[in-house]
C-alpha cells in the first residue's frame, strides 16, 4: 500500500509540459511551453510564463483563460490539480481589460477598455464610473440590432470617441474639475468626449431615423429584449471578443434618485434613450403626446445651444435646494389646520363620475355612478340619494397603479386604475367631465395609491402639477407668439416618428409643434429634460420589456410583459392584456434549468409556469430579480451598492 501511495505521489509531483498561447507575442507566434507540476499554483505558472517571454512590461492585468472550459483562472493560489488542468489544456495568457466599442443611448460610439474577466454587472459598474453615470445597476449591455444598410458608404466613416487611454477608476464618485470628472479634463479631446456625453444631441435627420431598426410588433420587441447579456457571466464567457460592438442601455426602468447637479451624463443619456424610443415607435403614444414630445425636443435643442454648460454643481443650487426644503416644511405646518375642510370639500365636489371595468372587445359602454372619495378608498352608488346607504362597491386604492389617458383637444379625461386582486389585477377606468374634476380626482387617486389621504399636505401641489401637465397639451392657435416662432427653421420630421412623416407634410406639422412649444418655451434645460422623462414615464406602456413564452398547459405562444412592478400576460392574437400579477404579491419564483421552465407562486394559491421562446429564461429570471432588487434601494444607502444581494436575486446557477 505504501509503495503504491508513494508511486502515485511521485507521479503527481512529476514535471510535465504545459503549452500556453501568449497574446502579446502576436497571433502567429508559437505557444510558450513551460515545465510544471500538478501542485504548482496558477500564480507560479504566470511567473514562469513571464520569465520565459523575457518581455519587460506591466503584467498585472494579465490572466489565464482556459479555452475548453470557457473559464478564467483568477484564483492564483489554486493549484493546477485543483482546477483540473492537464497537459491537453488550451490556455491563453492575455489582458483582462480589452478595447470594446460601446453604442450609447444618444447614438454615439465610444471605444474604451472594459473588463472581460469580471461578471458583466461589475464590468458595467466600471464603465459607468468612467462615464460618470450614477446607479449603474439600472444599466446593462446588449448585443446590437443591425441598421438597414443600402450601400457601403457612410457607415465606414462613423466617428468613434476614443477613451482607451482613460484609466478605469475604483472611486464611486470621481473628483470634479470645472464641472467634469478629472479624467476628462486632461486634454481637449477628452473634454470633447465629455461634452458629447453630457450635452443633448441635435434632432436626427429624417433619413437617419428611417435607417434605424423599428420593431413592428410586440414579437419584434421581444427579439430585441432577448439580446441582453447575462449579468452573472463575463464578456469572454458570452463570446464577446476584443473590439466587438455592444450597446449600453438603461435596462431597468426604475430610475432612482435623479439629481440634475450630479447626474448630468445620466440625465442626458436617459433623455436620449427616451427620445429614440419615441422616434422609433418603440412605445406607443397619442398624436397629441407626439406633438408635445416634438415641441420639447425642439426646445431642448434650442436651449442646449445657448446653455452649453447646463448642470454643473454649484453652491447656489445647494442653497436654493435647502431654501425650498425649509419652505416645504413651513407649508406643511400651515396646511394641516385646514385639512378637515379639505376632506369635506372633496367628498362633495363633482362626485358624478363614470365608472367602467373594461375588456377591449366588450360592447358595454360607460355607466354613470355617484362617487365618494374617503381616506384611500372610493365608493360608488347608483345615485346621490342612495349615497347615504351601502355602496355598490368600495375600492381601496392603496397599492394600485394610476395612469392618465388624456386627450385635451378631444376633451377626453380618463383615469386608468389597476387594482390588486388575488388572481391578478382588475382594470377600472374613471371618466371625468372636465379638467378641474380630472386634476382633483387624479391627485386624490395618486395619493391614495401611496397610502395617503386627501388631507395630506401634498394634495394641492399634486393638483397643480397635473394642471400644468394638461396646460402643456393645450394648443395656442392664433397666439401672437406663434407667428414669431414660425419664422424659425424647424425640421419637423426630425422631431416625430416616421408614422407622422407619411401622414403629414412638414408645413402641416410645424404649426402644431409650435403651438405645443408655447407651453414649454419658458422651461429651463433641466426642467425640460425632466418634463420629457415625466411624460414618457406616464405613457401606458412605459417600462415594459417583452418575451414570447408558452404557458404550461397552453398550446399557443403568448407574450409576457415585464414591468418595474408587475408581470403582464398578453394574448398575441388580439394584443389584449389577459392577466396582471404584481411582484409584491409574489411568494417565490423558481427556474428549472434542465427544461428551461420558470414557475412563480403568488399569494392566494395562484401558480403560473412557462417556458421562454424568444429569450433564455435566465433573462426573465434576471429581470424579475433585478426589479425586486431595485425596490430594496434606500436613500440612506444611496451610494453603496449591495452587489451580493443583486447577485443572489439574479444569478441563477452562478449564485449557488
pLDDT of 338 above 60: no
Band (pLDDT 50/70/90 cuts) for residue 135 is very high
The DSSP bridge pattern shows strands 97-103 and 245-250 to be: parallel
Q: Could you tell me the residue ranges of all domains in the chain?
A: 16-95, 98-147+156-251+254-284, 352-453, 545-651
pLDDT of 248 above 50: yes
Which of 47-51, 362-366, 420-424, 463-467 is least confident? 362-366
pLDDT of 354 above 90: no
Q: What is the average pLDDT across 53-73?
A: 93
pLDDT of 477 above 60: no
Tell me the torsion sign for CA atoms 36, 39, 45, 48.
negative
| 401 strand-pairing partners | 418
pLDDT of 409 above 70: yes
Residues 6 or more apart whose Cβ sits within 8 Å of residue 314: 261
% of the chain surpassing 90 pLDDT: 44
Band (pLDDT 50/70/90 cuts) for residue 279 is very high
Alpha helices (H) along 59-172:
80-83, 120-131
pLDDT of 350 above 60: no
pLDDT score of 341: 35
pLDDT of 182 above 60: yes
Residues 6 or more apart whose Cβ sits within 8 Å of residue 423: 579, 604, 606
Band (pLDDT 50/70/90 cuts) for residue 237 is very high
Give residue-wise pLDDT tens across range 14-42. 899 999 999 999 989 999 999 999 999 99
Helix (H, G, I), strand (E, B) or coil at 198: helix
pLDDT score of 336: 39
Band (pLDDT 50/70/90 cuts) for residue 2 is low
Q: What is the average pLDDT across 215-230?
A: 92
Band (pLDDT 50/70/90 cuts) for residue 1 is low
Whether the Cβ atoms of residue 100 and residue 246 lie closer than 8 Å to each other:
yes
Q: With respect to CATH, is domain 352-453 assigned 1.10.10.60? A: no
Q: With respect to CATH, is domain 545-651 assigned 2.30.29.30? A: yes
Whether the Cβ atoms of residue 327 and residue 457 lie closer than 8 Å to each other:
no
Residue 178 has a CB neighbour count (10 Å cut-off) of: 11
pLDDT of 343 above 70: no
pLDDT of 80 above 60: yes
Residue 325 or 228, more confident: 228
pLDDT score of 424: 66
Which of 21-25, 500-504, 532-536, 575-579 is least confident? 575-579
CATH class of 98-147+156-251+254-284: alpha beta
- Grid coordinates 402639477 are at which residue? 465
In angstroms, the CA 427 to CA 416 distance is: 7
pLDDT score of 618: 93
pLDDT of 147 above 70: no
Cα-based angle 259, 537, 542 (whole degrees, multiple of 5) = 135
Residue 160 has a CB neighbour count (10 Å cut-off) of: 12
pLDDT of 656 above 60: no
Is residue 331 classed exposed, middle or buried when 0-12, 13-18 and 19+ CB atoms within 10 A define those classes?
Answer: middle
3.30.420.280, 3.30.1330.60, 3.10.20.90, 3.10.580.10: CATH of 16-95: 3.10.20.90
pLDDT of 70 above 70: yes
pLDDT of 572 above 90: no
Which of 111-125, 127-141, 162-176, 217-231 is least confident? 162-176
Radius of gyration of the chain (CA): 29
pLDDT score of 79: 95
Which of 62-71, 157-166, 311-320, 468-477 is least confident? 311-320
Give residue-wise pLDDT tens across range 373-403. 888 888 888 887 887 788 888 888 887 888 8
What b-and-e string marks burial along 534-573, b requiring 16 or more CB atoms within 10 Å of the CB?
ebbebbebbbbbbbbbbbeeeeeebbbbbbbbbbbbbeee
Band (pLDDT 50/70/90 cuts) for residue 638 is low
pLDDT of 86 above 80: yes
The DSSP bridge pattern shows strands 16-22 and 91-95 to be: parallel
pLDDT score of 290: 93
pLDDT of 92 above 90: yes
Band (pLDDT 50/70/90 cuts) for residue 169 is low
Band (pLDDT 50/70/90 cuts) for residue 654 is low
pLDDT of 78 above 80: yes
Is residue 465 classed exposed, middle or buried when 0-12, 13-18 and 19+ CB atoms within 10 A define those classes?
Answer: middle
pLDDT score of 482: 45
In angstroms, the CA 655 to CA 593 distance is: 13
% of the chain surpassing 70 pLDDT: 81
| 586 strand-pairing partners | 602
- Grid coordinates 355598490 are at which residue? 392
**Is the fold of 16-95 the same as that of 98-147+156-251+254-284?**
yes
- Three-state secondary structure readout of 488-557: CCCCHHHCCCHHHHHHCCHHHHHHHHHHHHCCCCCCCHHHHHHHHHHHHHCCCCCCCEEEEEEECCCCCC
Residue 418 or 345, more confident: 418
pLDDT score of 608: 93
Q: What is the average pLDDT across 350-371?
A: 58
State pTM to two decimals.
0.79
| 273 strand-pairing partners | none
pLDDT score of 313: 43
pLDDT score of 487: 40
Q: What is the average pLDDT across 317-324?
A: 48
**For residue 113, which of 183, 56, 51 has the smallest C-alpha distance?**
183
Amino acid at each position: 500500500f505504501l509503495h503504491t501511495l508513494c508511486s502515485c505521489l511521485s507521479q503527481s509531483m512529476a514535471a510535465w509540459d504545459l503549452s500556453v498561447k501568449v497574446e502579446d507575442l502576436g497571433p502567429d507566434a508559437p505557444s510558450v511551453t513551460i515545465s510544471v507540476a500538478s501542485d504548482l499554483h496558477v500564480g507560479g505558472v504566470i511567473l514562469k510564463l513571464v520569465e520565459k517571454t523575457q518581455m519587460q512590461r506591466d503584467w498585472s492585468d494579465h490572466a489565464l483563460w482556459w479555452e475548453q472550459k470557457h473559464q478564467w483562472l483568477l484564483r492564483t493560489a489554486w493549484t493546477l490539480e485543483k482546477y483540473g488542468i492537464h497537459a491537453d489544456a488550451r490556455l491563453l495568457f492575455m489582458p483582462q481589460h480589452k478595447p470594446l466599442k460601446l453604442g450609447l443611448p444618444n447614438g454615439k460610439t465610444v471605444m474604451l477598455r472594459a473588463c472581460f474577466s469580471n461578471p458583466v454587472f461589475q464590468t458595467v459598474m466600471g464603465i459607468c464610473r468612467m462615464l460618470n453615470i450614477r446607479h449603474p445597476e439600472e444599466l446593462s449591455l446588449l448585443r446590437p440590432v443591425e441598421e438597414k444598410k443600402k450601400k457601403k458608404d457612410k457607415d465606414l466613416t462613423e466617428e468613434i470617441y476614443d477613451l482607451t487611454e482613460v484609466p478605469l477608476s475604483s472611486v464611486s464618485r470621481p473628483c470634479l474639475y470645472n464641472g467634469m470628472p478629472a479624467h476628462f479634463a486632461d486634454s481637449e479631446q477628452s473634454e470633447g468626449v465629455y461634452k458629447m456625453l453630457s450635452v443633448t444631441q441635435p434632432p436626427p435627420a429624417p433619413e437617419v431615423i428611417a435607417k434605424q431598426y423599428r420593431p413592428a410588433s410586440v414579437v419584434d420587441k421581444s427579439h430585441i429584449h432577448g439580446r441582453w447579456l447575462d449579468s452573472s457571466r463575463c464578456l469572454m464567457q458570452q463570446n464577446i471578443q476584443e473590439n466587438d460592438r455592444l450597446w449600453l442601455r438603461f435596462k431597468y426602468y426604475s430610475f432612482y434618485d435623479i439629481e440634475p447637479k450630479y447626474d448630468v451624463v445620466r440625465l442626458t443619456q436617459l433623455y436620449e434613450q427616451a427620445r429614440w424610443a419615441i422616434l422609433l415607435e418603440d412605445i406607443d403614444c397619442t398624436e397629441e403626446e407626439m406633438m408635445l414630445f416634438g415641441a420639447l425636443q425642439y426646445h431642448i435643442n434650442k436651449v442646449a445651444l445657448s446653455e452649453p454648460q447646463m448642470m454643473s454643481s454649484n453652491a447656489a443650487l445647494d442653497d436654493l435646494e435647502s431654501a425650498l426644503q425649509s419652505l416645504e416644511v413651513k407649508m406643511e405646518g400651515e396646511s394641516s389646520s385646514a385639512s378637515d375642510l379639505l376632506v369635506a370639500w372633496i367628498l362633495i365636489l363633482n362626485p358624478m363620475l363614470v365608472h367602467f371595468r373594461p375588456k377591449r372587445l366588450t360592447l358595454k359602454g360607460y355607466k354613470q355612478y355617484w362617487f365618494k372619495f374617503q381616506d384611500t378608498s372610493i365608493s360608488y352608488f347608483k345615485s346621490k340619494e342612495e349615497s347615504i346607504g351601502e355602496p355598490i362597491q368600495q375600492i381601496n386604492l392603496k397599492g394600485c397603479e394610476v395612469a392618465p389617458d388624456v386627450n385635451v383637444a378631444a376633451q377626453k379625461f380618463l383615469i386608468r386604475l389597476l387594482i390588486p386582486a388575488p388572481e391578478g389585477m382588475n382594470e377600472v377606468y374613471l371618466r371625468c367631465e372636465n379638467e378641474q374634476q380630472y386634476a382633483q380626482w387624479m391627485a386624490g387617486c395618486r395619493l391614495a395609491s401611496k397610502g395617503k389621504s386627501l388631507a395630506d399636505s401634498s394634495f394641492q401641489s399634486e393638483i397643480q402639477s397635473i394642471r400644468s401637465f394638461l396646460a402643456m397639451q393645450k394648443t395656442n392657435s392664433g397666439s401672437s407668439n406663434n407667428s414669431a416662432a414660425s419664422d424659425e427653421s424647424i425640421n419637423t420630421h426630425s422631431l416625430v416618428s416616421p408614422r407622422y412623416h407619411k401622414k403629414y407634410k412638414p408645413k402641416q406639422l410645424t404649426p402644431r409643434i409650435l403651438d405645443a412649444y408655447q407651453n414649454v418655451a419658458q422651461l429651463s434645460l433641466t426642467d425640460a429634460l425632466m418634463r420629457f422623462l415625466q411624460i414618457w414615464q406616464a405613457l401606458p406602456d412605459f417600462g415594459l420589456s417583452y418575451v414570447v413564452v408558452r404557458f404550461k398547459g397552453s398550446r399557443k405562444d403568448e407574450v409576457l410583459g415585464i414591468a418595474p412592478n408587475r408581470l403582464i400576460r398578453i394574448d398575441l392574437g388580439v394584443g389584449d392584456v389577459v392577466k396582471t400579477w404584481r411582484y409584491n404579491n409574489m411568494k417565490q419564483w423558481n427556474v428549472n434549468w434542465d427544461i428551461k421552465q420558470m414557475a412563480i407562486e403568488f399569494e392566494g394559491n395562484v401558480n403560473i409556469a412557462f417556458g421562454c421562446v424568444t429569450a433564455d429564461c435566465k433573462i426573465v429570471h434576471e429581470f424579475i430579480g433585478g426589479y425586486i432588487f431595485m425596490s430594496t434601494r434606500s436613500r440612506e444607502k444611496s451610494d453603496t451598492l449591495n452587489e451580493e444581494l443583486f447577485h443572489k436575486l439574479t444569478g441563477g446557477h452562478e449564485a449557488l
